[in-house]
Structure formats: structure tokens, C-alpha cells
Amino acid sequence: MKVLVPVKRVLDFNLKVRVKPDGSGVDLSNLKMSINPFCEIAVEEAVRMKEGGGGHAKDAAKEVVAVSIGPEQAQETIRNALAIGADRGILVKAEGEVEPLAVAKILKGVIDAEKPDLVILGKQAIDDDNNATAQMLAALLDWPQATFASKIVLQDGKATVTREVDGGLQTIDVELPAIISTDLRLNEPRYASLPNIMKAKKKPIDVKTPADFGVDTAPRLKVVKTAEPGKRQAGIKVKSAAELVGKLKETGVL
């Protein structure tokens, strides 16, 4: 089985987000960029399918291919996936913001060429928080989808996926090939070891462009303004539970 894992380069999740004073966007200059945490979970799961582990048989996956759509530096994000254990990478070079619809169209082109049996993606990127690419890709391919996965069991040409839903957990079967998107608790990604980081430098990365797949990446949505969120005023410190209950009575919420 071949597994394809798309990965996105985003602002490191530990860093503070700063809105540019002129409201034209979020300031990303000279800030550390990292692999999107949900994508990292997707890579880890795919690599476990290859190595065995996480309930997967060894060699359930024969090959894991990491794909990133982004600027030249997205190579680093692919190297990150290769250091976790992916076999090779594909960089589709695109500047500026690429919306999920265009990403899904490019990925469809990659999938038409690569013919993977399974595609695992992060459920959302922590920059634009869209939570859309996996579902859009499944639609374009007419493949079944299992989003927000917290457990994946592969058997007999299908994946049994436990999904985190509002009311609890839901389990569905999807016939392969299929699209799966990862939730936080699917696994805990490893730290790549130094030897594996060194090895990753030698793994091949193909470079493509959106035009190779006939995709126009011009955004459909126009961002008119980017603003700081409204600040909530800090209230007061109360000294005791009695004072707290008194205040809550006063405000009328009790």
C-alpha cells in the first residue's frame, strides 16, 4: 500500500501571532515556521503503517510520500516528514496564500500521478483554521472520507476509523482508496533522531508547480481586513467563595 501525506508549513505553534498595524495581515517576517501539528500526526500514522506500531502491521504501507504546497522553504517541512520516516517528497512550489480548494486540486493532480491507496491529512492547519482540504480532496476524487480520526484500523481493503464527533466517538468503515483526516489524539508524533534527520537530507524531493497540474492558485476569497480580536477586560479578584457567590448574585447569573 502506498500512503500519501500532504504537509503544510505554518507559523510555529509556540509563537505569538501579531497582526500587522496596517491591518493587511499577520506578520510572519523572521519568525520560526514549522510543520502543522495535525500534519505531523498524519506523517507519524503513515510511518507507523510502514514500520509496524500503533496497531498497524509492519509493511501495511510500503511507501510513504510527503507532499507540500508552498514556497521554496516548504522543503524544510518535507524534510521534517522525511526525518520522521517518509520515503520521499514532492514540493509543489507556490508563492502566497493558497486556499484549500486550490490545494485540493493540486493534490488531486499529484494523486492521479502517484495513485496512492490512502491519503492522510491533518484535519486543519493552525494558521487559517479552515478544516476543509481533506473533505474537498475526497469530493474531487469521489473517494470516501473519514475526518477527525482518533483511531485507524486497516484490514481487507478498508479502513475502520474512529472519529471524534461532538457527541463522543463515531466509527465508520471506508473502502480504500480513501481520505482520512487526523485529530489530536490519533497518536503522539516522535521526535526525529539526529541520524534520521541526516538520512532525510539524502532522500529525494521532486519539485513541481501548480501549472504542472493545470491549477490556478489565485484566491477566490478577498481578505478585506485583518484585525486583533476584541480584548476582554480582566475583571476583579475575589477573596473568597462567599464573595464570589455574592458577585454572581449581583450580576444575575445565579
Q: Taking Cα atoms as reference points, which of 65, 69, 12, 3 lies closest to residue 36?
A: 12
Name the minimum Å distance from CB 35 to other proteins. Answer: 16
Q: Is 124 in the site for other proteins (CB under 8 A)?
A: yes
We find the least distance from the C-beta atom of residue 236 to other proteins, in angstroms, to be 6
Task: Tell me the site size for other proteins, rule CB under 8 A.
Answer: 80
Q: Which residue lies nearer to other proteins by CB, 193 or 226?
A: 226
Taking the C-alpha atoms of residue 54 and residue 203, their distance in angstroms, rounded to an integer, is: 25
Whole-number minimum distance, CB 76 to other proteins, in Å?
Answer: 20
Contacting other proteins (CB under 8 A), which of 4, 9, 70, 148?
148
Scanning residues 30 to 49, which ones bind other proteins (CB under 8 A)?
none
- If one asks whether residue 132 binds other proteins (CB under 8 A), the answer comes out as yes
CB 167 within 8 A of CB 108: no
Grid cell 492521479 is found at 112
Residues contacting residue 39 through CB under 8 Å, at least 6 positions apart: 5, 6, 7, 8, 77, 81, 121, 122, 125
139 touching other proteins, by CB under 8 A: yes
Residues 169-208 that bind other proteins (CB under 8 A): 169-175, 178, 183-185
Report how far apart, in Å, the C-alpha atoms of 180 and of each of 115, 118, 153 are.
16, 8, 12
